[in-house]
Amino acid sequence: MSDLSHLHIPDGVLPLWLIGAGWLVAIVMLAVADRRVRGTEMARRVPLVGAVSALMLVGMSTEVVPIAYHINLTVIGGILLGPWLSMVAAFVTVIILALAGHGGVTVAGLNATVIATEMVAGWALFSALTAVLGTSRPRISAGVATVLALALSTTMLVGIVALGGAPATHRESGAFDPATLSFSNPFSEGVVTNTLVAAEAHDEEDAEPVGGIAVRRFAITVYTLGAAGWLLEALITAAIVGFVARVRPGLIFEGALAQPARAPIGDEGLH
Amino acid sequence: MDITILDTSATQGTSWLHRCAPAAKLAAFALMVVAIASSVNVLVVASIAACLLAVATSCRLPAGPLLALSAYPGVFAALFAFAAGVDALGAALIVGRAVTAALAAVVLMLTTPYPQVFAPIQRLVPPVVGDAILMTYRSLFLLVDKFASTMTAVRLRSGLNRRAPLRSASAVSRTLGGVLLYSVDLSQRTHDIMYLRGYDGRLVVSARSSDSIVRDVALVTAAAVVMGGAWLWRTRWAELNPYAWLPLASALIAVLLTLATTLLRKAAR
């Protein structure tokens, strides 16, 4: 459950201004990323982003051990793509997940921001740790980068939920209250003159918090469950990075785009 | 997440919803999501879910995948509700909204081929993002196949064992590493194809025309009515909440009628 840090904020839990802010941040992020990657090598960047995003989706839909745990591969995605394309890949992944029923649709902007942060932080931390530890210890660099990146994104999630505001009340939210149910004919006095009932049936003072978020309890639960997930994700990420570093080290230490492009098959004469 | 089922149903289905214009379906989907997200009464959310089930039944969408895919986010929403410490009704609302929104998304994806779903999004976002969405979905099929076949090979060699989770995790990690290398090579091959076909920085998806404008308008109008009802309930909840059972009962009757009609038509054949 390392992806507790994102994707599972359902629709309708967060206030409208926060959802709008999430979309605004995501749009700005995409605009900046587009500006930085636009122009050269689009034909190479697009399939690469597609392949890495698909890889993350495969990871997110794969149960690793029998505890309903699934991994993100966001840090590996960040290492392969670098910061700007990571932002694009994060948005693409979230949109496809939302349309497949995984994760909220309205909160896709926030989710994209959190995943992008995870990927960019993973890339930055891995690069920094590799610079310090050298290229001979990619597993350690990847593992530490993964734990820190996931801790950061989980903290972002808790921050987002905390920003969501104070708990609403029955009176304020209009939530369903079984005590007010009436099975009498609502149209007994005619459709137009129908006054309906029970508007004054419950006092505002009786209203109890409903639908609000206990941030402290939420943070404790997320950090407790998340910490185990971070470690498991770090172990798997370290294993994958170690494996790839042995067979294709350039992919890990330079990024996928730094690898030399070969001429398309059958078109060698043009180059 | 079995996307093959989604794609098969979307491309091979012939129901009234399959034949609607993708733009109309996307508009209806957006309205339904707004209705679900803005509803705070769990019975209203359940009514919207029942309406969606009636639509799915009338289109004969595969019930198993539909319900499984829709229920999946409910598990995580329940975890979210537990972590948030809300009461039972609050938890039911959180789970209900997550499942109903997923139901709307799955109905859309089961009745609309993915290029048609992503085409309008592609027009709104920068080229690299829009094209990457299409490319991701295409790559996903290939990677899922590759991962599944590799995992089968690992399983046949006893690489996966629920009693040995560490060894299993190690095997899955190596498999994912192999799939990662495959995905990078796949992107290179796709680059070759795009280059040879003259990719100029924008993939073009031609919009699918509608069979019936009237049907499209009716679909969007119905979704707008649902959204209007949800908004009315949100703003006039004090008067309406005592009768929250009414829309749910109506929607459930609609589900039963649709189911009966579908079964009768099947029997008549």
CA dist A116 to A122, A135, B55, B162, B193, Å? 10, 25, 36, 33, 29
Q: Which residue of B has its CA nearest to A161?
A: B84
Window B:4-23, CB contacts with A under 8 Å: 6
**Residue A189: per-residue pLDDT:** 56
Q: Around Cβ B74, how many Cβ atoms within 10 Å? A: 20
What is the mean pLDDT of the segment spanning A105-110? Answer: 90
**Residue B105: per-residue pLDDT:** 93
Residue B69 CA to residue B7 CA, distance in Å, equals: 14
Window B:149-168, CB contacts with A under 8 Å: 162, 165, 168
Tell me the nearest-neighbour CA distance from B13 into chain A, angstroms.
Answer: 18
B143 reaches A (C-beta below 8 A) = yes
What average pLDDT is seen over chain A?
78
Helices (H), A38-107: 42-60, 74-99
pLDDT tens for each residue of A45-99: 888 999 999 999 888 876 655 555 678 899 999 999 999 999 999 999 999 888 8
Comparing CB atoms, the residue among B33, B137, B181 nearest residue A105 is: B33
**Residue A25: per-residue pLDDT:** 96
What average pLDDT is seen over chain B?
86
Tell me the nearest-neighbour CA distance from A15 into chain B, angstroms.
Answer: 10
Contact residues on chain B for A95, CB-CB shorter than 8 A: 121, 133
Low-confidence ranges of chain B (pLDDT < 50): none
Tell me the nearest-neighbour CA distance from A64 into chain B, angstroms.
Answer: 6
Q: Does A268 score more than 70 pLDDT? A: no
Q: Which residue of B has its CA nearest to A92?
A: B133
Which of A1, A13, A215, A244 best probes binding to B when mutated, by most B CB atoms within 10 angstroms?
A13
Does the distance separating the beta carbons of A12 and B126 come in below 8 Å?
no
**Residue A186: per-residue pLDDT:** 59
* A67 DSSP 8-state letter: T
pLDDT tens for each residue of A150-188: 999 999 988 888 887 654 444 455 666 666 666 666 555
Residue A201 CA to residue A181 CA, distance in Å, equals: 10
Comparing CB atoms, the residue among B128, B138, B199 nearest residue A88 is: B128
Residue A110 CA to residue A23 CA, distance in Å, equals: 6
What is the mean pLDDT of the segment spanning A222-239? Answer: 87
**Residue A71: per-residue pLDDT:** 81
pLDDT tens for each residue of B94-134: 899 989 999 999 999 999 998 888 888 888 888 889 889 98
Q: How confident is the model at residue A195 (pLDDT cuts 50, 70, 90)?
A: very low
**Residue B4: per-residue pLDDT:** 77
**Which residues on adjacent β-strands are paired with residue A209?**
A169
- State the number of CA atoms in the 13 A half-sphere of B254 facing the CB: 17
